[in-house]
A and B are shown apart, each in its own frame.
Chain A
Amino acid sequence: MCVLAALLGAGLAWHISGYAGDAARPRPAIENEQIYMFLRLNSPEQMAAFYEARGFPREAIERLRQTCFVMAHVENRGQEIVWLELENWRFVATSGEIPRLDRQHWEDVWNEINLPQASRSTFGWTQLPEVRDLQPGEPVGGNMILPATTTAFTLEADFHTGRDKRKGMIRVRFRDLHCAQDKPVP
């Protein structure tokens, strides 16, 4: 059966409202028999605290603070391989696509500030992989990083399925997402 047809049939279950970092509100998530996926949008303060605690130098923290962190968790709940391929994901605002700050971008930044190898390694493992053939039952999680923005955006994530990518497409849409902001200092 065509996965896409089934998912389109699921209708609004796949169109999840976003959140603006308020812990009391549920994180955007989708769950069905094929996939479980949720997002968490972390504030610059939260991400700075994470990397500071792991010894990242001040220059690196300052660069990371100027961005928007979107953490994604994806889990294959079906029996077919699900292909996570970030080239098939798009962050879209009304003004157009928001380009991801990808691994090459960060490699250039780390070279510029001469980031130690250990920090580069840790940073790399905290990013969502560019490509992963998710096996049945396999989870994956990690960050995607965007330039900071105050406008709402949508994440459009498409996943091929099947070993040869011909078992249909899973299309996921997370709408009305907002970069998390630091809490104002009282």
Chain B
Amino acid sequence: MKQPLVVLGLSLVLVATLLATEQALPPGIMVLDARPAPELRLEDIDGKAYDLADARGHWVFVHFWATWCGPCRREMPTIERMTSALGDSPLEIIMVNTAETEDEVFTFLAVVAPDAVPLMDTDGLVTERWQPRGLPATFLVDPAGILRYLALGGREWDTAPYLAFLSRLASPEPVQKAVNGAPP
């Protein structure tokens, strides 16, 4: 009898936190219709396997990009600075290159974002499955693996409104615990 009440309470906390976050969305952030994130299993440029399904329990920043895309070139350094500014935040940041070769990506990143270790969607099919509105695009996946937000076009991620938004998303313990089903 006690357990349903706890679940109900935690669900209300989750909803309240999401609503509070949505009231203060920075420019260019769209609320999505809460569908499950598509599968995302790729290797990074160093050959290490990654599976988004293993990221349950924390928010994930999923960024799609390509070297030929002008806004991607402008946005990428802001993601590097954002990553640095967020420090030890539990927000996981992954970058998915769309349909390019290691040589193209390596040459580009050496100049634009030397610390990035992107996932390689070598045939572009994972990107197709996620259906971004264009490149670049960023999805925010919640701790339960649900698509919650989409960032339009290029964003200045290292500026105050975006850092505050991401910090709010990543920090509230009640949200993550509620999703995990752990006690408050």
Contacts and interface: CB of A to CB of B under 8 A. Distances in A.
Interface stretch (B8-16, B46-54, B126-134): B126-134
Given A122-B66, A125-B134, A137 B125 contact: no
B99 A121 contact: yes
B36 interface: no
B174 interface: no
Q: Identify the 7 closest CB pairs spanning chains A and B, nearest first.
A: A121-B124, A121-B99, A117-B123, A118-B99, A138-B152, A122-B99, A139-B153
A124 B133 CA distance: 12
Interface string B99-117: 1110010000000000000
B124 A117 contact: yes
Interface of B: 27-28, 30, 66, 68-69, 71, 98-101, 104, 122-125, 127-128, 133-135, 152-153
B101 A122 contact: no
A86 B104 CA distance: 32
Interface string A92-108: 00000000000000000
B27 A137 contact: yes
Contacts of B27: 137
A168 interface: no
Given A50-B68, A118-B123, A137-B27, 5 more contacts: A121-B128, A122-B68, A138-B152, A140-B133, A140-B153
Contact of A137 (B71, B104, B133, B152): B152
A142 B69 CA distance: 10
A165 interface: no
A55 B101 contact: yes
Contact of A132 (B30, B98, B101, B133): B133
A97 B71 CA distance: 33
A120 B124 CA distance: 9
Nearest to B122: A118
A126 interface: yes
Interface in A111-130: 116-122, 124-126, 129
A46 interface: no
A79 to B, nearest CB: 12
A63 interface: no
B153 A138 contact: yes
A135 interface: yes
A163 interface: no
Contacts of A137: 27-28, 152
5 contacts: A121-B128, A122-B100, A125-B124, A125-B127, A140-B133
A54 interface: yes
A54 B101 CA distance: 9
Contact of B135 (A125, A135, A138): A125
Given A135-B30, A137-B152, A54 B104 contact: yes
Contacts of B28: 135, 137-138
A121 B123 contact: yes
B153 A122 contact: no
Contacts of A141: 134
A125 to B, nearest CB: 5
Q: Of B69, B71, B124, B135, which is in contact with the most chain A CB atoms at under 10 Å from its CB?
A: B124
